[in-house]
Chain A
Amino acid sequence: MISIKNIHKSYVMGQNSLHVLKGIDLDIEQGEMISIMGASGSGKSTLLNILGILDNYDEGEYNLNGTKIKKLNERKAAQMRNRMLGFVFQSFNLVSFKNAMENVALPLYYQNVPRKKRNAIAMEYLERMGLKEWAHHLPNELSGGQKQRVAIARALITNPKVILADEPTGALDSVTSLEVIDLLHEINKTGITVIIVTHELDIAQRTRRTVRITDGMITEIIIN
């Protein structure tokens, strides 16, 4: 499903260059649930951004479902993200002036699905998340756990192959964290690949594999 070989990435800031990823090799199979762990600044988020085609890389090879991802133009990259990938962010990244239903329906807007149809589909997904009554609330009227479930519904609505979750529980208390992780497990059971970036060990341990990154290199792969 996902295959990366010898990925390098540096950030250039003025005259200084920060070498963040120093040759990452990783294969992820379809339907796998995998966690990426590491201290802050280790490069784990950068890796996830590269996997999500939100950022580019300097060197190496990245294959996503048989497509080589290298220097795609923005239009192609947007299409790939839309069709293949779903994102769950630590800070939820919901559009603040759109209600829950409209937020969930937004990816379908970029697939030119008619408004009524995409809203109906969005309602279905919200119902699955147990948020039907909250469909017409704005994000700031929702709790953290509700917001994250809206974000997950939004990530799922396009039937992606891969869900990329960047610290999905980072802004949540322990009870809601568990709920969100349970949700991600259920999603994984439907055959969707789930990749979670986290620094919480108990969350990492619940995935099939844990990849530990230190200073831009994979130091350890643990099979749980």
Chain B
Amino acid sequence: MFDLDKWQEIYSTIRKNKLRTFLTGFSVAWGIFMLIILLGSGNGLENGVKSQFGGGAVNGIWITNGMTGMDYKGLKTGRQIRFTNDDYKVMKSTLTGPDHMSARMFLGNNLTSYKDQYGSFFISPCHPDYGYIKTINLLQGRFLNNIDITEFRKASVIGEKVKLALFRGKDTVALGKYININGALFKVVGVFRDFSRNDDEQKRIYIPITTAQRVFSGSNFVNQISFTTGSADPDEVDKMVEKSKSILANRHTFDPKDERAINVWNKSEDVRKFTSLFRGIRLFIWIIGIGTIVAGIVGVSNIMMIVVKERTKEIGIRKALGASPSSIISLIMQEAIVITGFAGYIGLVLGVGVLELVRTYMPSTEFFKDPEADFSIAISATVLLIFAGAIAGFVPAMKAAKVRPVEALRDE
């Protein structure tokens, strides 16, 4: 079946029937090309939206203080709730689920300088665990540690955009240098890149919360307590959230049902929502993709049918000259397989090429970023099309091989 002579025979047939070859090949190449583009776009959409999620562990819970929205136990609506270090300590000691916990203050943007370079950056005082909760990606140095907290060290971890602004030039060493934050000097101990592509997240400076309270606020207030829930399942996470609410409600005397007194952001819930959204999008893409493949298969089958019909007389001649039925079948099928295989490969390469071009030259937008196609899916789609082409060729080839030569010769 795989002797060189047969390949030469197929090659000469293909070479001399260019239009037919092109039409067969085109429907296959187009099907694969579209599938790759579809899968790639779907992934691009998913990557884009996922990057909008911003940083933060997928199992993170952020609780921020707010103003009461309900009268409770004689206390009026509109009362400001203020968390303190004690809330953090109680939460840490009573809640058993969280594996990382941090308190945070909101200091807002502060004038920051290094030598003659100035900038206004978001100062974020926190505990060392926040590095984990926020999934900080360290480029240089380290994140805050417990000694920074207990010794009230003036340490700072700066975003890469901060470094770029204050320390001109990419190669300038920032580690060990002292930056001036609102009048106080802080030593740079680390440089980070936030997981989020959001620019603001890269313009932050993390400092120890204890130092910030002593230097900037002179109080024990904190604005936010956040933690990650480890490997807890959704029910356990819900229980943790309820427990935190009741602890804080009890300590600050507000109604546990009051949704404005404190604001809870449960990221895992958001992730769940988006996961189901993307499951929907992926299903949609698959339905269209399978539709495209089916159209390709129908196209190949159609053309193969016409090809065999068109070649009936030739088949008759070949049979009169001594071609056995099996040699006729294998001739037509091998031709079909060669054409669909080759065309499928071309479609694959073109599709991946277009995706690469988009990836390189199109700026990623909020909702579209890094399109990429699952290669194994593309390969299996190609194999499927080749298989379909073979089957599509097999049935009519079989019929043609069975026809008595006299009938085939009569065909015009």
Contact = CB atoms under 8 A, between A and B. Distances in A.
Do A and B form a real pair? yes
Interface of A: 49, 52, 54-56, 74-75, 78-79, 81-83, 87, 89, 93-98, 102, 106-107, 109-112, 114-115, 154, 158
Contacts of B250: none
Given A74-B401, A89-B409, A97-B16, A54 B320 contact: yes
Given A109-B9, A115-B5, A115-B8, A75 B324 contact: yes
B17 A97 contact: yes
A112 B318 CA distance: 14
Contacts of B314: 95-96
Given A97-B13, A97-B16, A114-B5, A49 B406 contact: yes
Report whether over half of chain B's contact residues are helix, strand or loop; otherwise say mixed.
helix
Contacts of B320: 52, 54, 81, 87, 93
Nearest to B317: A93
Contacts of B316: 93
Given A54-B409, A56-B404, A110 B5 contact: no
Interface string B5-16: 100110011001
Contact of A106 (B321, B402, B406): B321
Contacts of B5: 109, 112, 114-115
Given A56-B404, A110-B321, 9 more contacts: A74-B402, A82-B321, A93-B317, A95-B317, A95-B318, A97-B17, A109-B9, A110-B322, A110-B323
Contacts of A82: 321-322
A111 B322 contact: yes
Contacts of B405: 54-55, 81
A21 B220 CA distance: 116
Select the residue from A78, A93, A95, A97 with max chain B CB neighbours within 10 A.
A78
Nearest to A76: B324
Contact of B324 (A74, A83, A89, A114): A74
Contacts of B8: 115
Contacts of B326: 75
